[in-house]
Amino acid sequence: MTSLVRHLHDFIRDAEPTFDEWLAGINFLTRTGHMSTDKRQEFILLSETLGVSMLVDAINHRNRDGATETTVLGPFYVEGAPEMPLGANVTGGLKGEPLFAEGIVSSPDGQPLLNAAVDVWQSDAAGFYDVQYADRTEAGLRGRLHTNSNGRFYFWSVMPTAYPIPSDGPVGDMLKATKRHPYRPAHLHFLIAAEGYETLITHLFVAGDQYLDSDAVFGVKRSLIRTYTREAAGAAPDGRKMTTPWWRLRNDFRLKRAEPPAIQGAR
Ligand code: BEZ
Ligand code: FE
């Protein structure tokens, strides 16, 4: 609290607001609260668009020790995604150009991790997540797979596209007032969990996307940008015969070992 008050007073001394400006700030925060429900968290969106969430991420993930880098979870993660077998099509009928994604989950020194839970979720070709379709209740473009004995996972999906974050509330007003666009560069989300390891929350961004340098939530890290390759019609890695061109993403993930729990009463 001492630090918060010191920095808040520094800000007020620096900005010297009029009473009207002070009230506009109070109204902005009030609207941010009113906009927040169990489905929409406008305060977290504010934290993300001010770069605070990624600063907290940077502070808490300083030493990756060879593990894959992390980024924001975002509002479109849904717990309890449908379990799917390896090779499944996760689209649930949502549309886009076919994508085959594959990789290995391992420890930081490259030991493959068997039965790691791999949650994936993403937007469709129109830039929407399943939960943004008002008339839809079933999962689409999300699922949970488990790695095999080689630590390998693979699934069929569609190419993700860049999309705007929700901008019909106070956060959208703030972006407009500061002349910022609301877009995120195209990405796939991953949440990967294995016993004895820290759960990894990350994205894989599409190289060449026009918003990589101006992500509305500052979530891009260079190490998370991948080349999604365009493949000609023909046999895919799982033997499927593709009659149209398709995209392929290959990426291995390394999980960080979990810290052993502190012993109660130890000094
Ligand atoms: C997302 O990538 O799903 C996301 C992250 C932060 C804010 C809005 C969307
Ligand atoms: Fe996203």
Q: Are 154 and 237 in contact (CB under 8 A)?
A: yes
Q: Please work out whether the CB of residue 90 comes within 6 Å of at least one atom of ligand 1.
A: no
pLDDT for 32 equals 98
What superfamily does domain 36-254 belong to in CATH?
Aromatic compound dioxygenase (2.60.130.10)
Q: What is the pLDDT of residue 156?
A: 98
Residue spans of the domains in the chain: they are 36-254
β-sheet bridge partners, residue 255: none
Contact in structure between 141 and 123 (CB atoms under 8 Å): yes
Residue located nearest, by CA, to atom 4 of ligand 1: 74
pLDDT the model gives residue 114: 98
| Ligand 1 and 104: CB distance under 6 A | no
Closest listed ligand to the CA of 74: 1
State the pLDDT at residue 221.
Answer: 98
Q: Which of 60, 170, 156, 152 is nearest to 115 (CA)?
A: 152
pLDDT at 261: 75
185 within ligand 1 shell (Cβ under 6 A): no
Determine which residue's CA is closest to atom 7 belonging to ligand 1.
74
157 Cα–ligand 2 center, Å: 15
Answer whether 160 contacts ligand 1 (Cβ < 6 A). Answer: no
171 Cβ inside 6 Å of ligand 1: no
Q: Which residues of the chain, if any, have pLDDT below 50?
A: none
Question: Does ligand 1 come within 6 angstroms of the Cβ of 172?
Answer: no
pLDDT in tens, 55-97: 999 999 999 989 999 999 999 999 999 999 999 999 999 999 9
User: Does the beta carbon of 75 lie inside 6 Å of ligand 1?
Assistant: yes
Residue 99: per-residue pLDDT: 98
Task: Give pLDDT, residue 83.
Answer: 97
Alpha carbon nearest to ligand 1 atom 1, residue: 74
What pLDDT score was predicted for residue 266?
Answer: 62
- Spacing, Cα 130 to ligand 1 middle (Å): 14
